[in-house]
Amino acid sequence: MRLTPITIGNVQLKNNVVLAPLAGYTNYPFRRLCKGYGAGLCYTEMVSGKGLKYGSENTEELLYTDDAEGLCAAQIFGNDPEILRAACEHEKVAPFPIVDINMGCPVPKIYKNGEGSALLEDPILAEKIVKECVKSGKIITVKFRIGIHDSKLITTEFAKRMEGAGASLLTIHGRTKDKIYAGEVNFKEIESAKKAVKIPVIANGGVFSDADAEKLMAETGADGVMVARAALFDPQIFCALTGTPTENKFEMFQKQLKWTQQVCDERFVVVFMRKMAAFYVKGMRGAAVFKERLFKAQTPEEILHLAEQIWKE
């Protein structure tokens, strides 16, 4: 795909290919891995504004980063403008120059709380949130969907409102809330919003290859693309999209395991890296037998030994 730098506020990304915020997965080691393979920007997992306000240890752990990772964006969610501004000003968010407001999460619990995609139905509140967060001094971006369902698509009007409220970039998932992650991506809705605003627009949805990314860019006129689930199956998709050299899958896995051990306790390492290894072997010969043995592994060393067997054979 056509690579170009993107300017967000006073920050310039090296390219226009970014990693989506994925709850349960885009932790520090995974983001660092994707960044090394060429991603121009990575987002943290979705972080609760209320969780930060009330000092939730688990919430704060989601915001771990260091100089080795480099530029990263934090994503927060909630529906109270003052709480979200306080989240932007929280000490744990200090290392992140860019804060993204989630207005697209389709998970029922989030939606029923009036958060995530529920904000698509209350554009006035969404505007208040962005305006208040901008006061924090952070570069504010917004990720949202094209609507709750196909009978009421709000993309263009919502995009204009977010730009007017002070957002510096928009990421638009080209599906409605009720589609979750299935169904066709609505290119025309993203294209319409892109034409209606002056700030950069990132298109999200259905990118599993370089051809998918090229089509999404061509059909929408977007400034860049966001990669989500495809990165879970192969973080080196960013190599394909950006021309970054690839490496052996075992070397990739070993690196991720090492970085995860550096920042997480052993139990988390075991559970998380078993999940990642299961993603990475999808479609491989012997994957079923490997996964059966994998989920019996109880230590990082056992997991690494199994990974070495399947990827070095």
Residue positions annotated with a catalytic role: 105
DSSP states of 207-228: --SHHHHHHHHHHH--SEEEE-
Handedness of CA 47, 48, 52, 57 (dihedral sign): negative
Question: Which residue is associated with the tokens 């200090």?
Answer: 94
Considering only the C-alpha atoms of the chain, give the largest distance between any 2 of them, rounded to a whole number of Å: 58
C-alpha–C-alpha distance, residues 301 and 112, integer Å: 42
Contacts of 93 (CB under 8 A, 6+ apart): 52, 63, 74, 76, 87, 99, 138
Q: Is 275 exposed, middle or buried (0-12, 13-18, 19+ CB in 10 A)?
A: middle
Q: Is 231 exposed, middle or buried (0-12, 13-18, 19+ CB in 10 A)?
A: buried
Residue 93: count of CB within 10 angstroms of its CB: 21
Tokens of 102: 């989630």
Residue 300: count of CB within 10 angstroms of its CB: 17
Question: Which residue is associated with the tokens 């010969």?
Answer: 285
User: Are 59 and 51 a contacting pair, CB within 8 Å?
Assistant: yes
